[in-house]
Chain A
Amino acid sequence: AQTVTQSQPEMSVQEAETVTLSCTYDTSESDYYLFWYKQPPSRQMILVIRQEAYKQQNATENRFSVNFQKAAKSFSLKISDSQLGDAAMYFCAYRSNTGNQFYFGTGTSLTVIP
């Protein structure tokens, strides 16, 4: 099984500021996909952003962007102009290009301070 590590169990950010959540993964494959999922207090998991490993360009979705460092096996999520609604648990996930299993990290709980 692939290993996905989120080393920050909890993070906090002031409203309107920027925060970066870290994720590293372990794989011997060259082609794969990476994801960030958000789980708000409702516990409904929502896809935030995804990255194909063969693409060098970092994915961006509005205020959310990633810093994908393939050689370092690092996939961090940057949230700009943080809003109260961004408060949630964030999970990093990995999927191989040769299978359909998704592997999740342990999550980072983000608090947004008004």
Chain B
Amino acid sequence: DGGITQSPKYLFRKEGQNVTLSCEQNLNHDAMYWYRQDPGQGLRLIYYSQIVNDFQKGDIAEGYSVSREKKESFPLTVTSAQKNPTAFYLCASSIFSPSGANVLTFGAGSRLTVL
């Protein structure tokens, strides 16, 4: 079945450590996204990528980094520079058609807790 796989589902990190969240999709979607979800704040865009080897910062990119070396993969690294990294992280993908009614397909999410 086609879909998006995020791993790990739960992750604990000590302060000062970098961690990488994995996101893989087999939907043949061009665009991929990372969102952060905090209580009462909805989904906030961290980074998105429309094609391989290209990505753009979202509204809250500081302290995060991404890569897009393959169409299927869009890993997110939470660096030690991110001041408040404890959150729920959602990866999503969509076809890339600016004039079409593209929808986002989401992974199951990763919960990061900083100890």
Size class of the A contact interface (CB-based, 8 Å): 20 to 34
Complex interface: chain B residues within 8 A of A99 (CB)? 98
Interface residues of A, Cβ cutoff 8 Å to B: 1, 6, 9, 33, 35, 37, 42-45, 47, 50, 52, 91, 93, 95, 97-107
- Inter-subunit contact A100/B98 (CB<8 Å): yes
**Which B residue sits closest to A33, measured CB to CB?**
B101
The reply to whether the CB of B34 lies closer than 8 angstroms to some CB of chain A is: no
Cβ contacts A to B, 12 pairs, < 8 Å = A45-B106, A47-B103, A50-B101, A99-B98, A100-B31, A100-B48, A101-B58, A102-B104, A104-B42, A104-B44, A106-B40, A106-B41
Report if A45-B90 is in contact (Cβ < 8 Å); known contacts: A1-B59, A100-B50, A104-B42.
yes
Tell me the minimal C-beta distance from A105 to chain B in angstroms: 6
Tell me which of B41, B88, B96, B106 has the highest count of chain A C-beta atoms within 10 A of its own C-beta: B106
Contacts A44-B106, A45-B106 supplied; 4 other A-B pairs, CB < 8 Å:
A35-B104, A47-B104, A99-B98, A104-B42
